[in-house]
Amino acid sequence: MSEKVHFYLTTYSQEKVMVHEATVAADGLSVKLLIHGMKLGFIHQLKVMDITTTAGESLLHNTGYYTLNEVPGGVLKSPQMHKMSKTGNIIDQPKRTNEMPLNWSNGPKLKFDIGTVPGLKFDFKEIKVKRRQRIQFTLNNNDDMLHNLVIIKPGAENADKVGQMALELGLDGPDMNFVPASDLVLFHTGIVQPETSETIYFSAPKEPGEYWVLCTFPGHSYTMRAKLIVE
Ligand SMILES: [Cu+2]
């Protein structure tokens, strides 16, 4: 049965979800998982790798399946704005603009199609634009990890700082797309699943400078870094 179900899934739509936290019970007999990305109606496969008993015996069955039919009191897919996080904070992300602003009657001046490459990198090192230009940015996630794209103010220390702030979001991280509410952040996408894309719209800053383009997904910001050069 499971084999058939799995085949169905691979045929139609398969996505990876992220185990954000795993807490082992005091008696060692169960584990509580905090998972980001589960979808209603989907069958979720869980494969437990390399776990042994204290005596060194491995698991008899290391694969399980779970169909998500409902989430009691939960929210399944994050709307863009005004959502409650797990710790009860209101999430408001006004710097994520997925619709072209209505007053851009001539459309964007520049369109960029950006990709990701394995090894936690964007597929570009720098992009040059002119100040105040209307820009359309599409992040295509071509590898098998979760990524976002965050444009922040210039300054090497600021890239480190925003990466650190994203880590410190803790439990609220996934709900906030790992984007901290900070003045250093100018524009951003949400979390982009593997093999999907997201488009954002923004006007280039009026101050020339070398702005950072980061992925602030935990652990990515040190290598997933590029520049938006505003001339
Ligand atoms: Cu990333």
Domains of the chain: 2-67 (no CATH), 92-230 (2.60.40.420)
Supply the pLDDT for residue 8. Answer: 35
User: Secondary structure of 9-49 in the HEC alphabet?
Assistant: HHHHCCCCCEEEEEEECCCCCCEEEEEECCCCCCEEEEECC
The CA 148 to ligand 1 mean position distance, Å, reads 6
Q: In which band, very low, low, confident or very high, does the pLDDT at 126 lie, cut at 50, 70 and 90?
A: very high
Supply the pLDDT for residue 205. Answer: 96
Supply the pLDDT for residue 131. Answer: 96
φ/ψ of residue 44, rounded to 5? -105, 125
pLDDT in tens, 105-124: 889 999 999 999 988 999 99
The CA 206 to ligand 1 mean position distance, Å, reads 27
> Which string of b and e fits 57-75 if b means at least 16 CB within 10 Å?
eeeeeeeeeeeeeeeeeee
The CA 139 to ligand 1 mean position distance, Å, reads 11
Q: In which band, very low, low, confident or very high, does the pLDDT at 177 lie, cut at 50, 70 and 90?
A: very high
Give me the mean pLDDT over the 10-15 stretch.
54
Judged against a pLDDT cut of 90, whether residue 7 lies above it is answered with no
Supply the pLDDT for residue 138. Answer: 97
The CA 112 to ligand 1 mean position distance, Å, reads 18
Distance CA 80, CA 119 (A): 29
Supply the pLDDT for residue 213. Answer: 97
The CA 145 to ligand 1 mean position distance, Å, reads 7
Residues in the 5 Å CB sphere of ion ligand 1: 147, 215, 217, 220, 224
Judged against a pLDDT cut of 50, whether residue 68 lies above it is answered with yes
Cα first-last separation, the chain: 60
The CA 214 to ligand 1 mean position distance, Å, reads 8
Which residue from 35, 30, 31 is spatially nearest to 17, judged by alpha carbons?
35
The CA 164 to ligand 1 mean position distance, Å, reads 14
The CA 147 to ligand 1 mean position distance, Å, reads 4
Residue 227's beta-bridge partner residues?
126, 212
Judged against a pLDDT cut of 60, whether residue 49 lies above it is answered with yes
Tokens of 173: 């991280």
The CA 107 to ligand 1 mean position distance, Å, reads 28
- Other C-beta atoms closer than 10 Å to the C-beta of 178 total 26
Which residue from 217, 225, 223 is spatially nearest to 37, judged by alpha carbons?
217
Which of 21-25, 86-90, 100-104 has the lowest average pLDDT? 86-90
φ/ψ of residue 7, rounded to 5? -65, -40
- Contact assessment for residue 95 and residue 89, using Cβ atoms and an 8 Å cutoff: no
Give me the mean pLDDT over the 58-74 stretch.
72
If you average pLDDT over every residue of the chain, what do you get?
A: 84
The CA 186 to ligand 1 mean position distance, Å, reads 18
The CA 197 to ligand 1 mean position distance, Å, reads 13
